[in-house]
Amino acid sequence: MSATFSSLSFRNYRLWFAGALVANVGTWMQRVAQDWLVLTQLTSDSGVAVGITTALQFGPTLVLSAWAGLLADRFDRRKLLVLTQVLQGVLAAGLGVLVLSGRAELWHVYVFAGLLGCVTAVDGPVRQTFVAELVPARRLSNAVGLNSASFNAARLVGPGVAGLLIAAVGTGWVFVINAVTFAATIVSLTLMRRADLYPMPHAKRAKGQIREGVAYVRNRSDILVIMVVVGVVSTFGLNFQLTSALMARLEFGRGAQEYGILGSVLAIGSLTGALLAARRERPRVRLVIGAAFAFGVTTGVMALMPTYVTFALACIPVGLASLTMMTAANSAIQMSTDPAMRGRVMALYMMVFLGATPVGSPIVGWIGETFGARWSIGVGSISALLVSVGAAWWARSHWNVRVRYHVTSRPHLEVVHLGLPVADATAAGERRATTAPARVGAQEAADRQHAA
């Protein structure tokens, strides 16, 4: 089996991958249907209402993630995942019944979005850390990359199918179908062989465990840089459901089917990025920063596209850049974190990554309504460029790194370590220089020994 798909050689991971793929298709279908329901049926093209719905769905992450991470570190992750899948299925079915009965109102969608947000706030850290139990440690980066591939393969299919179903039978049936898809994950979890798992240590019950997780992250400057970059980009840039709906509806005058197609085209780039990530053995902080910069450039170009077709084509590099940033951030944090702390650290990461959405979505929606749909994308582009440049400058000055580019000689990209103070070397995860300035190629220079 090729290096890209090596994790699929493990039976438990194959079951997880297949079940998650089906459930992810349903999740993307519901996301598209939910936004379209709010935008076209329950309001008069209100970007703010869509933003509020998104904020309510992701808002609980800000409040519950820390406790969810502690649950992931303490309890049986497989049992927790079965519970979260059942609850998500029940909520999707409930909203579907309301819509099909013709009784759905905007506040109903708000309530269901908030409840779903509470469940996914618990599901996220557990799901992220459970992957590490399905494969050996040496395959973790590959497993994380394939997880993203599954999510984005579903994103490739889900929005397009949702658009067709909305046009054919309405949004209500999309929610009902999504409810059924959660059964795939539940079945896959129950079929796994416990003897084939690679269990991580569980944290024992004690006082101050959440504070312990916060302190751990505070002393890791590499993780902090990743969180700042991903947090800013997520707040203002990763609002594709909202911005694509505004562009399709208001800028290009298109319907639900064309809106769904935009999500599928975006997923072409995302899936490509996920498959490339699966081949990457050790993601770097510099890759997160570089991908964030690329995201700023590509979204800026996308915002300027004059027609629906050119806008759709511009979604591909945006998907590639955003997925590269997200998978690199996820893998870099998981692979460098003490297994007993991983649930809490990933919970804090999810708090930054998903918890930023409730802050950003209403702002981006207001910008789209006030200044035009293109500016809802433009604000994300500008934010990504500023934070990536700022992070690169900070890393250069605090980690004492110099980057040089040679046009005519190899390696073309060269990272020079000028010697790091002990504290900075430990916090940043850099290998401390003990001799005169050492010149190495970019790959070797980025091969950091993370503090564990």
What is the per-residue burial (b if ≥16 Cβ within 10 Å, else e) of 164-203?
ebbeeebbbbbbbbbbebbbbbbebbeebeeeebeebeeb
Supply the pLDDT for residue 443: 31
CB 259 within 8 A of CB 249: yes
Q: What angle do CA 394, 400, 401 make, to 5 degrees?
A: 85
115 is written with which tokens?
Answer: 């409840």
Q: Show pLDDT as tens, one digit a residue, over the chain (452 residues).
A: 566 778 888 999 999 999 988 998 998 889 889 988 988 888 877 877 887 887 788 778 777 777 777 777 777 888 899 999 999 999 999 999 999 998 889 999 999 999 998 898 888 888 878 888 888 877 877 887 787 777 767 766 777 788 888 888 888 999 999 999 999 999 999 999 988 888 776 666 666 667 777 888 888 888 899 999 998 998 898 888 778 888 888 888 887 778 778 877 887 887 777 777 666 667 778 888 989 999 999 999 999 999 999 999 998 999 889 888 888 888 788 777 777 777 778 778 877 876 676 778 788 888 888 888 899 899 999 999 999 999 888 887 777 666 666 666 665 555 555 544 443 444 444 333 333 333 333 333 333 334 33
d(CA 351, CA 343): 12
Scanning the structure block, which residue is given the tokens 């599928």? 264
| Residue 260: predicted pLDDT | 74
pLDDT of amino acid 207: 66
Q: Which two tokens stand for residue 408?
A: 């005519």
The pLDDT, as a whole number, for residue 449 is: 39
The tokens describing 86, both together, are: 């059942």
- Check residue 416 and give left, alpha or beta (phi > 0: left; psi -120 to 50: alpha): beta
DSSP state of 307: S
Helix (DSSP H) and strand (DSSP E) numbers for the chain:
17, 3
Cα(450)–Cα(80) distance, integer angstroms: 30
Residues 6+ away with beta carbon under 8 Å from 344: 66, 69, 70, 72, 73, 125, 203, 209, 210, 212, 213, 216
Could you list the beta-strand ranges (E) of 356-408: 401-405
- Structure tokens belonging to residue 56: 């309510």
Rg (CA), the chain: 22
Give the whole-angstrom CA distance, residue 80 versus residue 91.
Answer: 17
CA neighbor of 162 nearest in space, from 411, 228, 170: 170
Residues 295, 237: contact at Cβ < 8 Å? yes
Q: Report d(CA 438, CA 431) in Å as an integer.
A: 11
Write the burial class of residue 206 (CB in 10 Å: 0-12 exposed, 13-18 middle, 19+ buried). exposed
Q: Which phi-psi region, left, alpha or beta, contains residue 413 (left: φ > 0; alpha: ψ -120 to 50)?
A: beta
